[in-house]
Amino acid sequence: MSERTVPRYAVLASQLRADILARRLKPGDPLPTEAQLSAAFGVSRFTVREALRALAGEGLIRRRRGSGTRVADGRPALRQALADTRALLQYAAASSFQISPARPVSLRAPEAALLGRPPGEPWLHVRGIRVMDGAAAPIAVTDAYLHPRFAPVVDRLESGHEALFSQLARLAGLRITRVTQEIQAVNATAAEAGLLGIGRGAACLRIIRHYFEDGDSLVEMSCSVHPGERFTYMVETSG
């Protein structure tokens, strides 16, 4: 995804997040005012507010009336709000996803049970490591399974800031209309621990998503494992 297609608030949030995670802005440090950030980055006050709201949702900053905005104390962890696919696109825009080439597989029994599909069913498998911008340690390892009918376009999938399902929709000319997800508490396997830089058996969250076109046509399944200390899941609703 080019920078032109990433919302301006997400670009600003990414720059500020990098400064916080790299400790150029330390816990307790005040952030510049909205007016100062607006002038420094050449963006509107609305863009600044949206960027700060995103960082506050991730737990990286604290905003208090009368005392301004400061870098939060404690270890930063990702907070992801999911109401629709826009939240997934924002998550992708704030992180880098490094993928391996797609390869055809037949689902083994454990994978089939995990993803809710019949054993032996053919899919295209892509493994990726996701790292939040400015962070050193990965936030997730993801095994994605794409429907075999997308074989003509999978070689054009790229690492970067665009979500895999968004790339697939763009390349294949489809529209994702529904996403289901299941969240499980799990312990890291030896392979997951090695990829994530954590201890074997460490507490993790596993998120399984199914992506559908036109409501019922399954196009992608993904299984992402997140270290518990680096990930907080948040659902926000409004009445």
Residues 89 and 44 in one domain: no
Question: Average pLDDT for residues 42-68, to the nearest whole number?
Answer: 82
**Mean pLDDT of the region 23-52:** 89
Contact predicate 6/161, CB 8 Å: yes
Is 127 in the same domain as 226?
yes
Per-residue pLDDT of 101-160, as tens digits, reads 999 999 999 888 877 888 999 999 999 999 987 778 899 999 999 999 999 999 999 999
Residues 58 and 90 in one domain: no
- Please tell me whether residues 64 and 86 are part of one structural domain: no
Quote the pLDDT of residue 215.
62
Residue 127 lies in a domain: yes
Choice among 12-26, 35-49, 91-105 with the minimum mean pLDDT: 12-26
Residue 152's CATH number: 3.40.1410.10
Whether residues 88 and 192 share a domain: the answer is yes
Least confident of 46-60, 177-191, 192-206, 225-239: 225-239
pLDDT, one tens digit per residue, over 59-107 is 788 887 767 898 887 655 555 545 556 666 666 677 889 999 999 999 9
Domains in the chain, number: 2
Whether residue 92 sits in one domain with residue 64: no
Q: Which of 71, 102, 128 lies at the terminal end of a domain, its last residue?
A: 71
Q: Are 58 and 91 in contact (CB under 8 A)?
A: no
Domain boundary among 37, 71, 105: 71
pLDDT of residue 171: 94
**Residue 116 shares a structural domain with residue 201:** yes
Predicted pLDDT at 102: 94
113 within domain boundaries? yes
Do the domain assignments include residue 239? no
pTM equals: 0.67
Residues of the domain holding 24: 3-71
133 within a domain of the structure (yes/no)? yes
Residue 103 sits in the same domain as residue 183: yes
Encode pLDDT of 179-197 as tens digits.
888 888 999 999 999 999 9
Q: Name the domain boundary from 48, 71, 94.
A: 71
Q: Is the pLDDT of residue 4 over 50?
A: no
Would you state the pLDDT for residue 89? Answer: 62
Query: pLDDT over 90 for what percent of the chain?
Result: 41
138 and 220 in a single domain? The answer is yes
When pLDDT is cut at 50, 70 and 90, the band that residue 2 belongs to is very low
- Residues 66 and 84 occupy one common structural domain: no
Residue 46 lies in a domain: yes
**How would you classify residue 173: left for phi > 0, otherwise alpha for psi between -120 and 50, otherwise beta?**
left
